[in-house]
Amino acid sequence: MSPDIWERAKKIKLLISDIDGVMTEGGIIYDDQEVEYKKFNVKDGLIVFHLRRNGIMVGAITGRESRVVQNRCEELKFDFHYHGVKNKGKKFDEVLETLELSADEVAYIGDDLIDLPILSRVGLAIVPSDAMVYVKPIAHYISRFEGGKGVFREVGDLLLHANDSLVPIIEKLIHTDNDTK
C-alpha cells in the first residue's frame, strides 16, 4: 500500500459505499412476478460489524430504489442508507453536515458516473477494478477486486489496519475459546 493511501486511510471516520457494482456485481435478476434478486458477498458484510465496533461509521448512498438493498443495509446495521438518490453530491453534503465531518474524513467506494460528485471530494476515493474507465482516474485507489467480489471487504480491512485495529481483531479471534461443549 502506498504511503499516501495509508495516510489517507488513517483519517477516515466514515465509509460510504454505492451498492450496485460495488457490493453487488451490478446485475439485477427479476422473476416472473417482478421480484428482484441481488447477490451480495458475505465477506463484505462481515467487516461492517468490525468497522462500527472500531469507531468507523458505515453508510450507503445508492441511485436505485430496492427493497433487497434496504434489507441488506438494515441487516448489516449500516449507520445510514439512502436509496433512489439521483444527486449524490447533494446527499453527501447533507451527510457531512449531519455527522459534522469534513470530506477528508470520508472514504467512498463507487464505480460509475453518478459517483463522481462524491469520489472527487472525499479523503479516500476507491473504485472496483471493473469500474468505468472514466471513473478510475478520480480514484486514489483502484481495488484488486471487481464489484461484488470483495471490494468493500478490502477497503474495510485497509481502514482497520491503518487504524491499528485489524491485527488485534485477528489476534482476539485466534485466542478466543472456541470450545462448543
Instruction: Quick: pLDDT tens for 109-158.
Output: 999 999 999 999 999 999 999 999 999 999 999 999 999 999 999 999 99
Homologous superfamily of domain range 3-174: HAD superfamily/HAD-like (3.40.50.1000)
Arithmetic mean of pLDDT over the chain? 94
**DSSP letter string over 83-127?**
-S-S-HHHHHHHHHHHHT--GGGEEEE--SGGGHHHHTTSSEEEE
Query: Tell me: the pLDDT tens digits for 21-68?
Result: 999 998 888 889 888 899 999 999 899 999 999 999 999 999 999 999
Residue 63: what pLDDT?
95
Q: pTM to 2 decimals?
A: 0.94
